[in-house]
C-alpha cells in the first residue's frame, strides 16, 4: 500500500533532521500485536484496515474515519479478526468519567435528560 503522505513526511524529516525508521507498511508487516495510527484523517481507514487484516489490534486517532460507512467497515474487520479497535479518546478511561457513569446508571440522580459540561486540559 502506497503512503500518499510519504513525500511530505520525508521532506519534514529532512528539514528537522528526524531519522525515518520505516513506513507504515513496515509496521503492518512487523511482529507486533498492536499499532497506533496517528496519520492524517484521510488515511485512517486504509492503514487501520491493513493493520486489522494483518491480525493486529488498532488504536486510531480521532476521528476514527471520515464517515459511518468507513467506521462500519473497520468495525466488521475488527470483529471478523477478533481484534480490538479503539478510537483515541483517553477521557473515557478517566476515573471521574467512570464515576459519573456509575451515578447516572444507578438512578440516584433521577432521570437524566441533558448533560452539559466543559472539557479541557492544562
When pLDDT is cut at 50, 70 and 90, the band that residue 10 belongs to is confident
Question: 36-61, pLDDT tens digit by residue?
Answer: 999 999 999 999 999 999 999 999 99
Q: DSSP assignment of 14-64, as one string?
A: HHHTPPP---HHHHHHSS-SEEEE-S-GGGHHHHHHHHHHTT-EEEEPSSS
Question: 13-28, pLDDT tens digit by residue?
Answer: 789 876 665 778 888 8
What's residue 93's pLDDT?
85
Which residues are part of the catalytic machinery?
Answer: 62
Q: List Cβ neighbours of 97 (8 Å cut-off, separation of 6 or more).
A: 91
Please provide residue 61's backbone torsions phi and psi, each rounded to the nearest 5 degrees.
-60, 160
Q: What is the pTM of this model?
A: 0.68
Amino acid at each position: 500500500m502506497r503512503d500518499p503522505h510519504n513525500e511530505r513526511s520525508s521532506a519534514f524529516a529532512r528539514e528537522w533532521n528526524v531519522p525515518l525508521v520505516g513506513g507504515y507498511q513496515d509496521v503492518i508487516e512487523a511482529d507486533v500485536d498492536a499499532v497506533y495510527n496517528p496519520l492524517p484523517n484521510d488515511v485512517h481507514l486504509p492503514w487501520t484496515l491493513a493493520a486489522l487484516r494483518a491480525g493486529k489490534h488498532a488504536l486510531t486517532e480521532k476521528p476514527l474515519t471520515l464517515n459511518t460507512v468507513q467506521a462500519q467497515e473497520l468495525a466488521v474487520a475488527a470483529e471478523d479478526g477478533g481484534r480490538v479497535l479503539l478510537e483515541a479518546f483517553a477521557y473515557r478511561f478517566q476515573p471521574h468519567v467512570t464515576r459519573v457513569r456509575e451515578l447516572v446508571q444507578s438512578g440516584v440522580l433521577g432521570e437524566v435528560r441533558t448533560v452539559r459540561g466543559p472539557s479541557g486540559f492544562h
